[in-house]
Structure 1
Amino acid sequence: MSDYVPQEVLFEILLRVPVKSLLRCRCVCKSWYSLISNPDFISNHTKRTALYSTNTHLVLRRYASDDQEETFTLHYDDDELFGDCQKLDFPFKSSRDYFHIVGSCNGVLCLIDNHTKGLKPIVLWNISIGLSVTLPLQQITYQLFHNEVLGFGFDSQNNDYKVVRIVYSRMSDKSLILPPDVEIFELSNGAWRIISPRSAPNCVLTDSSTASLNGAVHWVGYYNSSEEVGNSNRLVIALFDMTEEVFEELNLPDGIADDILEQLSVTVFGRLLSVIQYKRWVRKLGYHGCCIWVMNEYGVAESWTKLLNIDFWSGLRKVLGLRNNGEVLLVKNDGELVSHDPWSKRSSKLEIHGESSSFFADTYMETLVLLKGKKRLCN
């Protein structure tokens, strides 16, 4: 049948077909297999999926110390059906408890096993098609004292997925030496390369959350070479442009640029760059709440708006995301997941538990990224 359909028409038809069906369509004939596996088709299909995505599902990661299992589950973002989840096949095992999630982009997670000695294994994993790529070991080694920061994102100009690694040498007094050493992994050629980008004068917080948006990776940055709590002069959003491969920065909302490093988190809500400003931490209880800010016009500091102000006196550990019904997914300090209504101030238990620091949530997106990737890329 495909012999009678012009290639450009077939291309447009298949762009509208869901990922799981496309995987089966590859078995129709060699020409379909070749078309669906083509990088240009994969790129266009991913763009269309992102454009028309309705964000109906969430992927959730947690680790339960009782059974020592790292679990990924798929949830329908609905009040009644959220608990009826599908357990995903997670094909990896951390050397100790659970992987650190560097970031996500177009349905792909970047994972690193921080518990191994020496250079750490890094994996790219497409949740929807179950394929993964294990990256070769990094090129930059380090001394005994160092801080390491990773970011994962998409270079739209070159249609390439990249991992950036920033290594700061650290003095015995914990101050960092600038500029850092930087290297980049490109999925297109499967290799790391050391670069010498124009460095921003700020440092990136080692344990900062990351946000991939508009072709850049974002972290919490600071203008002091010490990460001691309360010892920072000024905070910013540090970013790395994946196409130009340069560091830049964005200003935070007025009034929080002198906040405490550990109380800020950068993320993406509703396709907008967002900052979570956690309220005072109380030992063994957690945070008392948070403020969520969104940048309505990317790159314009004056467009920061306070979206939500959440008081949560029962002990907040982290904000996972915003639900379609307007409620906020929160992890309590005791490891319980709840759905919180910021207006009525009521929280609904979701009967999901785990180590509070292990929780991760993101919008589920089915893509063909990594379809032609190998299981492992060797040095």
Structure 2
Amino acid sequence: MPNLKLDLPSDVTTDILCQLPVKTLLRFRCVSKRWCSQIDGPDFIKLHLSRSLATKSNLSLVLRNWYLYSVEFDSLRTATEINPPLNVIWGITDVFGSCNGLVAVCNSEEEIVLWNPSTRKHQRLPTMPVEDPKGDVKPRRYTFYGFGPDPISDDYKVVRMVQFVGDNGFFSAEVKVYSLKTNSWRGIKELPYYIRYLFQLGYLLFYRRGYGTLASGALHWVVPAGFGLLCMIVAFDLVAEEFRIVPQPDHVDPGFEMDLGALEGCLCMLCNYGGDFVDVWAMKEYGLKESWTKLFKVSQSSLNRRFGQVMPLAYSKSGDKVLLELDKDKLLWYDLRRRSAKKVRIEGAPNSFDAAVYVESLVPLGGGGMNRKTRQPPEEKKKSNRKKMDDFLSKGFKLAL
């Protein structure tokens, strides 16, 4: 039988390839030089990502406990352990941001990595020591992180904020921004006064706001009420690299604790009334105070269970349900019309976890992240690290996530 050659027009090939998952595309790079060049091309990468975001396809969740797990969003059936490119033996890996298929992870102020779990490429950030304030008293310090894109310069940035609290009650802060494009850090000199009051121990332990919420090209944190200040939403613009206050809606019942989230790119304000119920508001037009809209309400009666914290993660493809994370250990599908919930059971998932949504993509990473050293460690090394961790945990050490 003679060999048949199927030579499709380039636009037809692009349309077909654009509908495929990342794992399939990585295999198809071996089909021909033409396909490899096309799949690796920046225009195709952007087109594939844009289609995934528009159709809510190629979505996954990353679950964080002592280890990291990935589960496909469409099924939410089975969790698979994934291994970040960090030297994790006695520490825990923090996932502090996700954008366009890139996940930001760290286990210390000096070891921070941008990582694409789909392509297994990573970029290790250059070490940038924290500069303690001058003085005789060594202060305590608390670190806040954020990660997101700068679409104007076609870049991705990591923000590291360190708040210093001296024994004499002195407050100060240091803010540095990393650029993936230049693979370098730079300091932000002009800081607003309220940045130094981000840290409140009880608030951060409960609401997990050490990590900036990405929405509309900015990272967001809550400055809790205290020190003579009202509760504020603080934004860091990733393009202008400056801070600003985000206005809050006027018609909100008082007496709530604030948390932040994001749904379909919109900033969400979560008003938690003592765990009895949570009102979820969204800023439909970013920066416009009048665009705040109340999306839905989640109450204990609608979930038939008590809860402390609620975090909306994503809408279903049909838009009639929203995936909720409760108290960092449960996932629920919440039916917006019926106001009822159904627990999500994921085989292989840890008993408690933080969850974040990421889209699988071909977005590349430059510098050291593109070489062969980015591959996951050998199985023997993973088992060795796991044994060391398990031995450590067996001695009675436990960490509340």
Work out the number of aligned pairs and report it: 344
For normalisation by structure 2, the TM-score amounts to 0.72
TM superposition shift of 1:161: 0.8
8 Å contact from structure 2 (residues 222, 259) kept in 1: yes
Q: Which residue of 1 aligns with 2:310?
A: 318
Select which of 148, 155, 158 maps to 1:153: 148
Distance in 1, matches of 2:341 and 2:11, equals 51
Moved more, 300-309 or 38-47: 38-47
Specify the SS of the correspondent of 1:374.
Answer: helix
TM superposition shift of 1:250: 0.8
Distance in 2, matches of 1:334 and 1:6, equals 49
Q: Which residue of 2 aligns with 1:283?
A: none
Q: Which residue of 1 aligns with 2:82?
A: 89
Specify the SS of the correspondent of 2:308.
Answer: strand
Specify the SS of the correspondent of 2:368.
Answer: coil
Q: Which residue of 2 aligns with 1:213?
A: 215
| Structure (1/2) with the larger strand percentage | 1
Distance in 2, matches of 1:90 and 1:237, equals 34
Q: Which residue of 2 aligns with 1:374?
A: 368
Deviation readout 1:112-145 (Å, 9 max, x if unpaired): 214xxxx341121213222222212124333532
Q: Which amino acid aligns with 1:134?
A: R
Change (3 A) 1:341 1:165: same
Deviation readout 1:17-58 (Å, 9 max, x if unpaired): 6433432343345565455434455345434443x3324744
Pairwise CA RMSD of aligned residues? 3.6
Change (3 A) 1:173 1:188: same
Distance in 2, matches of 1:122 and 1:40, equals 28
For normalisation by structure 1, the TM-score amounts to 0.76
| Structure (1/2) with the larger helix percentage | 2
Q: Which residue of 2 aligns with 1:240?
A: 236
Distance in 2, matches of 1:12 and 1:336, equals 38
Moved more, 204-213 or 240-249: 204-213
- Percent identical among aligned pairs is 28
Segments of structure 2 that go 5 or more residues without pairing to the other structure are 133-137, 374-401
Q: Which amino acid aligns with 2:100?
A: N
TM superposition shift of 1:158: 1.0
TM superposition shift of 1:97: 5.8
Distance in 1, matches of 2:273 and 2:334, equals 16
Select which of 120, 125, 134 maps to 2:115: 125
TM superposition shift of 1:347: 3.2
Q: Which residue of 2 aligns with 1:66?
A: none
> Which structure has the larger Rg?
2
Segments of structure 1 that go 5 or more residues without pairing to the other structure are 64-68, 223-228, 281-286
Moved more, 133-142 or 234-243: 133-142
Q: Which residue of 1 aligns with 2:394?
A: none
Change (3 A) 1:158 1:122: same
Q: Which residue of 1 aligns with 2:265?
A: 271
1:75 counterpart = 2:78: no
Q: Which amino acid aligns with 1:165?
A: R
1:27 counterpart = 2:15: no
8 Å contact from structure 1 (residues 151, 210) kept in 2: yes
8 Å contact from structure 1 (residues 124, 134) kept in 2: yes
Select which of 49, 52, 55 maps to 1:53: 55
TM superposition shift of 1:106: 0.7
1:249 counterpart = 2:245: yes
Change (3 A) 1:43 1:341: closer
Specify the SS of the correspondent of 2:146.
Answer: strand
